Amino acid sequence: MSRVCQITGKKAVVGNNVSHSKRRTKRTFKPNLFDKKFFLPEENRYIRLKVSAKGVRIINKIGLKKALEEAKEKGFIQSLS
C-alpha cells in the first residue's frame, strides 16, 4: 500500500533541500501517516485505515461514517473494508 492518506488523499510531494550555499538537491516531503483502527458502530466492527494527522482530526470532527462516505465519493478509498 502506498503512502497516501485514505481520508484526505494527502501524498508525498517533491521539493528541494537548500544548503547554506543555496545549492538545491531534490527531496520528498512525506505525509504524517498512521496505521489506525477505528470502531464503526453502524456495522459493529473495527476498520483499519492509513490516515494522516489531519485525517484523524477530520474523523474526530465530522464522524467516521461521514468521513468514509466523503473519501469514497472523492475516490480516495474503493471499499469500506
Does a structural domain hold residue 81? Answer: no
The average pLDDT across 3-18 equals 96
Tell me the C-alpha distance between 81 and 20, whole Å: 48
Q: Is the pLDDT reported for residue 81 higher than 60?
A: no
Tell me the C-alpha distance between 37 and 56, whole Å: 11
Does a structural domain hold residue 65? Answer: yes
pLDDT tens track for 15-74: 999 999 999 999 999 999 999 999 999 999 999 999 999 999 999 999 999 999 999 999
- pLDDT score for 2: 84
Q: What is the DSSP string of 14-50?
A: EEEEE-TT--EEEEEE---EEEEEEEETTTTEEEEEE
- pLDDT score for 68: 95
Does a structural domain hold residue 79? Answer: no
58 grid coordinates: 477530520
Does a structural domain hold residue 4? Answer: no
Query: Residues 6 or more apart from 75 whose CB is under 8 A from it?
Result: none
Does a structural domain hold residue 67? Answer: yes
Q: Residue 22 is part of which domain span?
A: 13-74
pTM value > 0.75: yes
Does a structural domain hold residue 30? Answer: yes
Q: How many domains does the chain divide into?
A: 1
28: domain CATH number is 2.30.170.40
